[in-house]
Amino acid sequence: MKLLMSGNEAIARGAYECGVSFGAGYPGTPSTEILEEFSKYEGVYAEWAPNEKVALEVGIGAAVAGAKALVTMKHVGVNVAADPLFTVSYTGTNGALVIITADDPSLHSSQNEQDNRNYAKFAKLPMLEPADSDEARRFVRIAFEMSAAFDTPVFLRSTTRVSHSKSVVVAETPVPLEERRELRIDPAKYVMVPAMARMRRVEVEKRLRALRAFAETFPENRMEIRNGEAGIITAGMPYNYAKDVLPDCSYLKLGLVHPLPERLIRKFAASVKKLYVIEELDPFLEEQIRAMGIEVTGKELFPYTNEFDPGVIAGAMGLKTDASIKPPEVVIPPRPPNLCPGCPHRGLFHVLGKLKATFVAGDIGCYTLAFMKPLAGLHSCICMGASIGMAHGMSKALGEKGRGKVVGVIGDSTFLHSGITPLLNLAYNQGEAVIVICDNRTTAMTGMQEHPATGYTLQGTKTKEVDFQALATVLGIDSVREIDPYDLKNTRTVMKEELARGGSSLVVSRRSCVLFKRHSPETRKPLRVNANKCIGCRNCLDLGCPPIAWRSFKDRPAHEIVKNAKKQDGNSYIDADSCTGCTLCQQVCKVGAIEEVE
Amino acid sequence: MDRKDKQLRKDIAAGPARSVLLAGVGGQGILRASDILCRVIMEAGLDVKKSEVHGMAQRGGCVTSHVRYGQKVYSPIERKGNVDILLAFEKLEALRYLDYLKPSGRIIVNETEIYPPAVNLGTMPYPDNAVALIRQGFSTVKVIKARDLAAAAGNIRAENTVLLGALSPWLDFAPDLWERVLKESFPTRTLDANRQAFHLGRDYREGEGGG
Ligand SMILES: Cc1ncc(C[n+]2csc(CCOP(=O)(O)OP(=O)(O)O)c2C)c(N)n1
């Protein structure tokens, strides 16, 4: 059956086709849809873990019990999961364990551009890399077969272009791989104290040798011989870009990017006059091939940064492109992503941005967008969970100078991901900072995933719901409050009080994401600006709300201009089609010019 | 499949991959539209790939979707200077992605204006001559008020379907193929409005009013 599928849908399909029924992960673009799609197949158990480390440990437990386990995460998630990763490489997996890492060249939705192929080498694990959706589907089965055959976790690396491109998939009827779930006690294999880990360490090298031999004849390491002039070694999505631009070259397309098939590479190199490696990000293949003593051209032509496309390859190879279109001579205003109309984060950050000489240590989520003007209410973003530790460190470093001036903000999903331990640290080491949980009741940024405070699981079962206030209290936080970020006055008052009081505070800023229908069934009336009252002060524009626009009097006909203040040079306008009626603009308007649309 | 379809398939298969670039703003239904387009191409018996970026870009940012089709397609994204048709859901986005077109490329521009933050704040102007600028470089430009036509069809959210309709005569796939895919793509509740929207877009002739 031919279906049009994204790489992520195809990975889920692939897992289903080989009878995998256990999955765990944490959302993160571009990996999120894999587990979401997988969880919908019949007979499958899948869960969102609070973070990637937990997800991997859940997967390890399932695999040790004999299950075939799928674990999914984005590239930076592997950093979080790295601790168990490096040691499960020693223990092996009994059942089977496949870890999907979805990398993000070009940082479309990420804080860095790390190349996770390095993790395969670092942790001494095999890694497969599909180039399109149908390969993604097929490679999942291969990954599970390899995991079982070599008793090793197996990485499958996707990138944004593979995960989020759609192409034709030939879906097959499921043929489950064998699975035997049972309790199995084997301390020599699973208790990694030094004496036993040293023994397993040797096994890891044995396994790598076996995998290298496997790679030599692995059919997905595929030679396509066209002519003897130029040969290209490549893998994953860049293979497609190269084939489009250089159809007449010979190719060695690697399905397995670690470990490399040395003999095959030598054979291919010997069959062409000039050898190129085309790979995005790090010279991962190139350095290893050069270390084999083979002459190869790579990063002297191709960029280290950003994803490629056919144009990048044509340019690097010095081919003439027919790009003769000159962009029009006009300044095109940028269109960065922005907080949605009615976003609950807006009220909070409007208040934070106006606090004088205060550092707001930020975190990752939709609210990170509040760093932009005009809100400008967030001053750092490093990784998930960093805000609280940073705020604490800053307050300790500044001492008296920082008193009442350090805030940490963190989303609800991010807090549960990696904010609890730093909050404990803030209490334990007696830092002085106000931590705000931007609790919009969901994981909004990645598309509304459930988490331990939403009350529901990935597969829709009602479950326990963590209570942030109670948690902060037992951790030892001095003051715990709740605010509604749609209420600007109270938000301001509470923030000022908490900053003034010293010690550690936790403020839960609670209001559901406007796009998330579970908690906000009420629809509010959109608002409009009464031109007979607006004095053109621009207070409402300070909210950076998409429906609110400035209309200058400059190029408008005289009959449209109503001046209510001496120096007024324009007025505000609200697009009623996109206004959600959150009333923030009404609250900041000093002259009562913003009214409900009748 | 009638003779005309077979010939069309042969023509497309014989040449290099063709491409359509859909560009607009998050929330305009671009991904839905490109899904439908891909289904039509697939059902016509051709290879097709499409690519877009989800995630941060959805929060009111630019959204693009590349669609490439032919006998065998490798890259899901097209390079600059090589796109056959730009289907722009918003005028500013038409300008932004103009350099993806080949010199002989064709453009459909929706008259809708969606202001980005700098325009809302009054710090940058919204270009008032977008269509004229586009016409300077390209001879085949279709300008359409998709929102009005969608409203006329009874659902302002069907703007994307109007634009697909406007695109359809340029691609030569059989109308009943579109019909079938539309039927499979929308719930009965909104199917009629979308079907109507598609036809209003398809029949739209510039200069004949109607929007
Ligand atoms: C280690 C890691 N995992 C996943 C992500 C992707 N990611 C970024 S923020 C975020 C969660 C956002 O949810 P929340 O904190 O509730 O904020 P919201 O977007 O709802 O405002 C996720 C999953 C990441 N950047 N790093």
Q: Do A487 and A540 belong together in one domain?
A: no
* Mean predicted confidence (pLDDT) in B47-53: 92
Which residue in B30, B36, B77 has the most chain A C-beta atoms within 10 A of its own C-beta, making it the best mutation to test that interface?
B77
Given a cut of 70, whether residue B59 has pLDDT beyond it is no
Which residue in B78, B79, B139 has the most chain A C-beta atoms within 10 A of its own C-beta, making it the best mutation to test that interface?
B79
Indicate whether A332 belongs to any domain. no
Are A550 and B75 within 8 A, CB to CB? no
The range of the structural domain enclosing residue B92 comes to 3-203
Q: Which H or E element spans position A353?
A: helix A345-353
Q: DSSP string of A351-376?
A: HHHTSTT-EEE--SSGGGGGGSTTT-
Reduced to 3 states, what is the DSSP secondary structure of residue B191?
Answer: helix
* Mean predicted confidence (pLDDT) in A7-34: 98
Are B98 and A4 within 8 A, CB to CB? no
Best residue among A445, A449, A512, A518 to mutate for probing ligand 1's pocket (most ligand atoms within 8 Å of CB) is A445
Lowest mean pLDDT among A183-192, A218-227, A339-348, B59-68: B59-68
Q: Do A185 and A245 belong together in one domain?
A: no
B57 interfacial to chain A (CB closer than 8 Å): yes
The range of the structural domain enclosing residue A319 comes to 222-324
Reduced to 3 states, what is the DSSP secondary structure of residue A28?
Answer: coil
Indicate whether A329 belongs to any domain. no
In chain A, residues 120-179 whose CB comes closer than 8 Å to chain B: 132, 160-161, 164-168
Nearest Cβ partner of B54 from A30, A544, A546? A30
Q: Do A272 and A390 belong together in one domain?
A: no
Ligand 1 nearest-atom number relative to CA A76: 1
ipTM tops 0.90: yes
Q: What is the pLDDT of residue A451?
A: 98
Indicate whether A503 belongs to any domain. yes
Indicate whether A560 belongs to any domain. yes
Chains A, B: CB pairs < 8 Å: 186
Give B-chain residues touching A447 at CB under 8 angstroms. 54
Indicate whether A476 belongs to any domain. yes
Indicate whether A210 belongs to any domain. yes
Number of domains in chain A: 4
A327 interfacial to chain B (CB closer than 8 Å): yes
Q: Do A299 and A157 belong together in one domain?
A: no
Give A-chain residues touching B86 at CB under 8 angstroms. none
Indicate whether A570 belongs to any domain. yes
Given a cut of 60, whether residue A426 has pLDDT beyond it is yes
Indicate whether B31 belongs to any domain. yes
* Ligand 1 binding pocket includes A339 (Cβ within 6 Å): no
* Ligand 1 binding pocket includes A76 (Cβ within 6 Å): yes
Q: Of A292, A324, A356, which marks where a domain is finished?
A: A324
Indicate whether A541 belongs to any domain. yes
Number of domains in chain B: 1
Q: What is the pLDDT of residue B210?
A: 37
Q: Of A495, A519, A543, which marks where a domain is finished?
A: A519
* Alpha carbons B41 and B47: distance in angstroms, whole number: 8
* Alpha carbons B148 and B158: distance in angstroms, whole number: 10
Given a cut of 70, whether residue A231 has pLDDT beyond it is yes
Indicate whether B209 belongs to any domain. no
* Mean predicted confidence (pLDDT) in A420-427: 98
Q: Do A396 and A487 belong together in one domain?
A: yes
Q: Kindly report, residue by residue over A479-507, the tens digit of the pLDDT.
A: 999 999 999 999 999 999 999 999 999 99
Are B51 and A165 within 8 A, CB to CB? yes
Q: What is the pLDDT of residue B76?
A: 98
Q: Kindly report, residue by residue over A432-467, the tens digit of the pLDDT.
A: 999 999 999 999 999 999 999 999 999 999 999 999
Q: Which amino acid, A164?
A: H
Q: What is the pLDDT of residue A203?
A: 98
Are A324 and B81 within 8 A, CB to CB? yes
Given a cut of 50, whether residue A474 has pLDDT beyond it is yes
A445 Cα to the center of ligand 1, angstroms: 6
CA dist A364 → A110, A324, A421 (Å): 9, 40, 17
Q: Which amino acid, B17?
A: A
Q: Do A59 and A206 belong together in one domain?
A: yes
Q: Do A484 and A559 belong together in one domain?
A: no
Q: What is the pTM of this model?
A: 0.96
Query: Angle, nearest 10°, between helix axes A194-217 and A82-91?
Result: 80
* Ligand 1 binding pocket includes A445 (Cβ within 6 Å): yes
Q: Do A306 and A160 belong together in one domain?
A: no
Give A-chain residues touching B38 at CB under 8 angstroms. 4, 166
Q: What is the pLDDT of residue A40?
A: 98
Q: Do A400 and A271 belong together in one domain?
A: no
* Alpha carbons A101 and A77: distance in angstroms, whole number: 8
Q: Of A217, A240, A263, which marks where a domain is finished?
A: A217
Indicate whether B92 belongs to any domain. yes
Could you tell me the CATH number of the domain that includes residue A202? 3.40.50.970
Q: Which two tokens stand for residue B20?
A: 């359509």
Q: Do A256 and A200 belong together in one domain?
A: no
Q: Kindly report, residue by residue over B5-44, the tens digit of the pLDDT.
A: 777 777 777 778 999 999 999 889 999 999 999 999 999 9
Q: Which two tokens stand for residue B160?
A: 């994307």
